[in-house]
Amino acid sequence: MTPLRAPALLALALSCCLLAPSATAAERSYRKLTLENGLRVVLASDPEVNESAASMAVGVGANADPEDAQGLAHFLEHMLFLANEKYPELNSYSEFLQAHGGFSNAYTAQDLTNFHFQVGHDALPEALDRFAQFFISPTLDYAYAQREVAAVNSEHQKNTMDDTWRLMQLTRSLLRPDHPANAFSTGNSETLAKVKEETLRAFFQAYYKPSNMTLAVLSRRGLDELEALVRERFAGIPAGEPKPWSCPADQLDEVEALRLIQVEPIKDLRQLRIFVDIPNQHPHALSKVATVVGMAMGDEGKGSLLSHLKKLGLATSLSAGAGGNRFYSSCSVTVGLTPAGVKRWREVAELCFAYFNLLREQPFPRYLWEEAKTLAELDDRYSPKPEGTNAVIALANNALSFGLDVAERVAVTFQEPKLEDYRELVAALEPKNALVFLVAKGVETDRSEPYYGTRYSLREEKGEAYERLREAKLPEGVRLPAPNPFIPKHTRLVPEQPVLLRQDPGVTLYYGQDLEFRRPKVSLHVRILSPAAYGTPRAAALTRLYAAMLQEQLNEFSYPALVAGLSTSLQPSRKGLVLTVSGYSESAFTLLAMVAKALRGPLDPEAFERVRLRALDGAKNFPLGQAYGYLSELARKLVVRVHVTPDELVPAYEAATLEDLDRHRTALFAKTHLQALCYGNLTAADARRAVKIVEEALGSEPLPASAAYEAEVLRLAPGEEVVFQREGHTDQNCLRIDYQVGPSDVRTRMSAELIGRALRNAFYTEMRTKQKLGYIVFSGSYNRKNVQNLVFLIQSGTHDPEDLRARAEACIASLPDLFASLPPAQFEAIRQSLIEDRKKKLKSIAEKAGFFFDAAFEKDGNFGWIEDEIAALRALEQKEVARLVQETVEGKTRLVFLLRAKGSAPFTKPDGVPDVAAFVKAHTYTAEKPGYALPDEGH
Ligand SMILES: [Zn+2]
């Protein structure tokens, strides 16, 4: 199932328990009960939720793994999915959930294991029954043990070249040798090879006791009904005493030295990371004293540590926070370094420790704690409540970690903080409790971490280097954050479907007033269309740099706004730039005016250099990411007539200067068309004013919307097959096949989606579960402009792409028969789940504004497109859909993309697209829009 949750060092902020989303609200009602077998249960009923969901937290995790069976807790998590006495058929659990529009997953953390699912309301009783059997009658059939070990191993293989995982494991390996966290918790085929059936069963018997488990269920159904469902299904988990276990709070021995770990990354990362072992925060987690450390140190405003490091040219980013689990805690700081910062890492480290010293010298910054409390309360009242698995995972974990009473209120609970708790915490922020990691290409290394092969060196510097950290002082001007002026002290409340308010050569403006959520919030979207934004790598690079640069410059004043629940972003796209501002009405217009003014404001040369460097690193590192992501980007070059890939951005980023950027901005804003949508708690006059603010700040000549960029998409001739082959940059192979199904009118689109959903499980089960080709296996449908596609994708570390292709094609060839023989009841269930998906309620003003913006400008102003799709789904007949599967698979109008691992054996057949430019010239591309505006088209 999903990889283990990243521990504190890499989570960057607070631990899962402290960040657990809030679930308190007037409309959501709760009931807590303890069954006779000791199982603790939280039930939540909410008439507004779109799906039912449940989660079981078990109070055992990887830290309880025996030394000679590392990964055992994770392996057991996988084995429990196989089958049980009541439902002996393999995979029937996930098939049942998928057929009812749901899914399931699980993860093994250090101190607990969480299982969860989500499903349509009607299917909840059976889903709960199947779920309960995990814990009542699992067969743990050892005939499948090797297969599951292989799944665990391929999960690990997927992580081996990922720097996040590598650093996490390296950190663990440096903890006290006798601490259970110093282990390899994912497991692989080596660590699990000798695990005996008795060991696995004994582990289950020891810890999977109802009194060591908490269940959470959230549904539209009433509490009485939920209680009856749960009592009946979960009473059968046999009672018994769980084996007691715990972990020591001390993760690191105190050493009076600077412990420097130099690490060679895979990607071109430059980071300084500080890991500090702090006293266990769990006993007073509900008073949240630790939140102020992250708030203070992670501040990005004026006078912050990051602002100072940027001025020195040493850093581009900084994050900090405390985290942990029931047994132990840590505090971590991650600084993104510039090349100069790598050379001067000692200065950066000293400044970080100087900040710790400042925290120790200053009184408890109670105003920061109050701000966190106010924001949590506002969030609880006005933000959309979490749903589905997100909601129940938090409920079950919180019930396990903090008790049934507070389970739904952990995020909003701010118990009166005790000063001695805070003092004890900041007293620990000393170099003797810390590990300092310097992560950069070319650092000195002399050894390898055994499970991931991470190259590193470890050095203990005593004497002066250590004393300098201990006594470090911050320069004048760096201080704790000032009180935040954007946090609202009072808020006031003011036609539902947007109306067209303005349409002239320079502006198209839609406006809608929220009548549903009744929150004092607005969401403003303005897309600045400009033909100069894209078209060449240079233009694309400069547009991106400009957007990133503006975001960077805005950071110092927008950071407090962000903390106060306002958000703003400026995103580059092929068409131009999209500016959004969302949050409390009172402050949103102030923020919009500040951002608009900055559009034409001065460009800071140092910010430019930081942004350029970051963009360059990102583009250079892109090929080293997941192989399927890289292949999809290469594929886009064929499929979209004008597309710029990250590879092509590299030279453009290398050459870009501040003068280029300034000239590009002049060109970008010479002629523009604004596409705007303002929605929420505002009047039509407010909406006009918002657009006027941007219009005046830009001062552009008006441009008709039709003169802006439209993507043109490849349309293959019927029966045409294109085979594209390349060598990748990682150890992964990848295959992607895109079948072009036909024009993307509403009926074809719905048929393709139905096919995608019906066949997803068959493809996945065959390719991933049975043939074990790799961890990432995907199939589905999508439309790009007026071209509808079915897509199949496999990424593999073990099978070469031609082999993947042969196996995938054999599987795909069997799909038409499989679809034709689908029982009508199952066809109906899939149709129904697609209809249910479309009926999902939008949960906030911002979500609704995003939906309306898309409908206004990408769906021809058809705000009722969802109803059109539902009508088309209702009208589909199984026979016509079956015919479409058959025509598609047999017609072979398709693109086959193959990516082989770096340095692997060459392809045996010649490449079909040796020259991409020539290919694009010779083919037909269409800019036709998909069928959204024509609800009455004939068939
Ligand atoms: Zn797993």
Task: Give the separation between CA 918 and CA 429, rounded to whole angstroms.
Answer: 61
pLDDT value at residue 264: 98
pLDDT value at residue 5: 33
pLDDT value at residue 500: 86
Cβ(480)–Cβ(362) under 8 Å?
Answer: yes
Ligand 1 centre to CA of 188 (Å) is 11
Please indicate, yes or no, if residue 3 is contained in any of the structural domains.
no
Please indicate, yes or no, if residue 722 is contained in any of the structural domains.
yes
pLDDT at 847 over 60: yes
Ligand 1 centre to CA of 116 (Å) is 13
Task: Say if residue 270 is in the same domain as residue 197.
Answer: no
Ligand 1 centre to CA of 71 (Å) is 10
Angle at 291 between CA 289 and CA 296, to 5 degrees: 110
**Which of 183, 182, 237 has its CA nearest to residue 208?**
237
Ligand 1 centre to CA of 194 (Å) is 19
pLDDT value at residue 438: 98
Ligand 1 centre to CA of 147 (Å) is 13
Task: Give the separation between CA 751 and CA 743, rounded to whole angstroms.
Answer: 12
pLDDT at 277 over 60: yes
- Mean pLDDT for 545-570 is 84
Please indicate, yes or no, if residue 251 is contained in any of the structural domains.
no
Tokens of 11: 């989570």
Task: Give the separation between CA 140 and CA 80, rounded to whole angstroms.
Answer: 6
pLDDT value at residue 933: 59
pLDDT value at residue 403: 95
Ligand 1 centre to CA of 62 (Å) is 12
Task: Say if residue 570 is in the same domain as residue 512.
Answer: yes
Task: Say if residue 543 is in the same domain as residue 668.
Answer: yes
pLDDT value at residue 587: 83
Ligand 1 centre to CA of 81 (Å) is 11
Ligand 1 centre to CA of 120 (Å) is 25
Ligand 1 centre to CA of 64 (Å) is 17
Ligand 1 centre to CA of 72 (Å) is 11
Ligand 1 centre to CA of 589 (Å) is 46
Task: Say if residue 766 is in the same domain as residue 859.
Answer: yes
Element (H, E) at 743: strand 733-743
Ligand 1 centre to CA of 752 (Å) is 31
By mean pLDDT, which of 18-27, 243-252, 361-370, 796-805 is the weakest? 18-27
By mean pLDDT, which of 216-225, 373-382, 817-826 is the weakest? 373-382
CB atoms within 10 A of CB 785: 21
Q: What is the mean pLDDT of the chain?
A: 90
Task: Say if residue 698 is in the same domain as residue 717.
Answer: no
Ligand 1 centre to CA of 76 (Å) is 10
- Mean pLDDT for 362-375 is 88
| CA-to-CA separations, 293 to 281, 478, 562, in angstroms, rounded | 13, 15, 18
Tell me the pLDDT band of 930, cut-offs 50, 70 and 90: confident
Ligand 1 centre to CA of 127 (Å) is 21
Ligand 1 centre to CA of 359 (Å) is 40
Radius of gyration of the chain (CA): 28
Task: Say if residue 748 is in the same domain as residue 852.
Answer: yes
By mean pLDDT, which of 318-332, 434-448, 659-673, 702-716 is the weakest? 702-716
Tokens of 185: 């918790």
What confidence tens digit (pLDDT) does each residue in 454-486 have? 999 999 999 999 999 999 999 999 999 988 767
Tokens of 693: 């603010």
Ligand 1 centre to CA of 930 (Å) is 39
Task: Give the separation between CA 736 and CA 724, rounded to whole angstroms.
Answer: 10
Ligand 1 centre to CA of 514 (Å) is 43
**Which of 593, 568, 581, 594 has its CA nearest to residue 524?**
581
Tokens of 213: 């488990």
Ligand 1 centre to CA of 909 (Å) is 36
Task: Say if residue 532 is in the same domain as residue 508.
Answer: yes
Please indicate, yes or no, if residue 424 is contained in any of the structural domains.
yes
Ligand 1 centre to CA of 186 (Å) is 8
Ligand 1 centre to CA of 110 (Å) is 13
Ligand 1 centre to CA of 98 (Å) is 19
Helix (H, G, I), strand (E, B) or coil at 199: helix
Give 505's DSSP letter. Answer: T
pLDDT at 19 over 50: no
Task: Give the separation between CA 619 and CA 75, rounded to whole angstroms.
Answer: 37
Please indicate, yes or no, if residue 656 is contained in any of the structural domains.
yes
Ligand 1 centre to CA of 830 (Å) is 27
Cβ(822)–Cβ(877) under 8 Å?
Answer: no
Ligand 1 centre to CA of 323 (Å) is 23
pLDDT value at residue 113: 98
Ligand 1 centre to CA of 152 (Å) is 6
Ligand 1 centre to CA of 322 (Å) is 26
Ligand 1 centre to CA of 774 (Å) is 13
Ligand 1 centre to CA of 639 (Å) is 35
User: Residue 573 burial by CB count (10 A; 0-12/13-18/19+): exposed, middle or buried?
Assistant: middle
pLDDT at 18 over 80: no
Ligand 1 centre to CA of 1 (Å) is 3
User: Residue 446 burial by CB count (10 A; 0-12/13-18/19+): exposed, middle or buried?
Assistant: exposed
Task: Say if residue 296 is in the same domain as residue 311.
Answer: yes
User: Residue 590 burial by CB count (10 A; 0-12/13-18/19+): exposed, middle or buried?
Assistant: middle
Ligand 1 centre to CA of 828 (Å) is 32
pLDDT at 925 over 80: yes
What confidence tens digit (pLDDT) does each residue in 880-902 have? 999 999 999 999 999 999 999 99
Tell me the pLDDT band of 676, cut-offs 50, 70 and 90: very high
Ligand 1 centre to CA of 14 (Å) is 23
Ligand 1 centre to CA of 211 (Å) is 25
Element (H, E) at 899: strand 894-900
Query: At 746, phi and psi to the nearest 5?
Result: -60, -35
Task: Say if residue 645 is in the same domain as residue 724.
Answer: no
Ligand 1 centre to CA of 805 (Å) is 26
pLDDT at 938 over 50: no
Give 735's DSSP letter. Answer: E
> The CATH number of the domain where 305 resides is what?
3.30.830.10
Task: Say if residue 34 is in the same domain as residue 56.
Answer: yes
Ligand 1 centre to CA of 106 (Å) is 7
For the chain, percent of residues with pLDDT exceeding 70: 95
For the chain, the distance separating the N- and C-terminal CA atoms, rounded to the nearest angstrom, is 43
Ligand 1 centre to CA of 114 (Å) is 11
Ligand 1 centre to CA of 408 (Å) is 27
Task: Give the separation between CA 418 and CA 321, rounded to whole angstroms.
Answer: 19
Please indicate, yes or no, if residue 476 is contained in any of the structural domains.
no
Ligand 1 centre to CA of 768 (Å) is 13
Ligand 1 centre to CA of 216 (Å) is 22
- Mean pLDDT for 285-312 is 93
Ligand 1 centre to CA of 165 (Å) is 14
Ligand 1 centre to CA of 105 (Å) is 9
Please indicate, yes or no, if residue 490 is contained in any of the structural domains.
no
Cβ(135)–Cβ(237) under 8 Å?
Answer: yes
Ligand 1 centre to CA of 452 (Å) is 17
By mean pLDDT, which of 351-360, 557-566, 690-699 is the weakest? 557-566
Task: Say if residue 613 is in the same domain as residue 667.
Answer: yes
Ligand 1 centre to CA of 769 (Å) is 13
Which of the listed residues 681, 707, 733 is the one where a domain comes to its end? 707
Ligand 1 centre to CA of 78 (Å) is 6
CB within 8 Å of 323: residues ≥ 6 apart: 7, 8, 11, 13, 14, 15, 16, 18, 329, 330, 331, 332
Ligand 1 centre to CA of 351 (Å) is 39
Which of the listed residues 234, 267, 284 is the one where a domain comes to its end? 234
Task: Give the separation between CA 692 and CA 502, rounded to whole angstroms.
Answer: 11
User: Residue 919 burial by CB count (10 A; 0-12/13-18/19+): exposed, middle or buried?
Assistant: middle
Ligand 1 centre to CA of 839 (Å) is 32
Give the domain extent around 168: 8-234
Task: Say if residue 673 is in the same domain as residue 808.
Answer: no
Parallel/antiparallel/unpaired status of strands 499-504 and 521-529: unpaired
Ligand 1 centre to CA of 833 (Å) is 27
Ligand 1 centre to CA of 187 (Å) is 9
Ligand 1 centre to CA of 121 (Å) is 27
Please indicate, yes or no, if residue 931 is contained in any of the structural domains.
no
Ligand 1 centre to CA of 75 (Å) is 7
Ligand 1 centre to CA of 850 (Å) is 34
Query: At 497, phi and psi to the nearest 5?
Result: -75, 135
- Mean pLDDT for 671-683 is 93
Tell me the pLDDT band of 542, cut-offs 50, 70 and 90: very high
By mean pLDDT, which of 155-169, 182-196, 643-657, 918-932 is the weakest? 918-932
Ligand 1 centre to CA of 100 (Å) is 23
Ligand 1 centre to CA of 2 (Å) is 5
Ligand 1 centre to CA of 595 (Å) is 44
Ligand 1 centre to CA of 756 (Å) is 25
Number of compact structural domains in the chain: 4
Ligand 1 centre to CA of 11 (Å) is 19
Three-state secondary structure along 400-422? Answer: HHHCCCCHHHCCCCCCCCCHHHH
Ligand 1 centre to CA of 893 (Å) is 36
Ligand 1 centre to CA of 775 (Å) is 10
Ligand 1 centre to CA of 745 (Å) is 39
pLDDT at 934 over 50: no
Ligand 1 centre to CA of 153 (Å) is 9
Crossing angle, helix 92-99 and helix 124-136, to 10 degrees? 160
**Which of 58, 266, 75, 56 has its CA nearest to residue 184?**
75
CB within 8 Å of 778: residues ≥ 6 apart: 628, 764, 791, 792, 793, 794
What confidence tens digit (pLDDT) does each residue in 113-155 have? 999 999 999 999 999 999 999 999 999 988 888 889 999 999 8
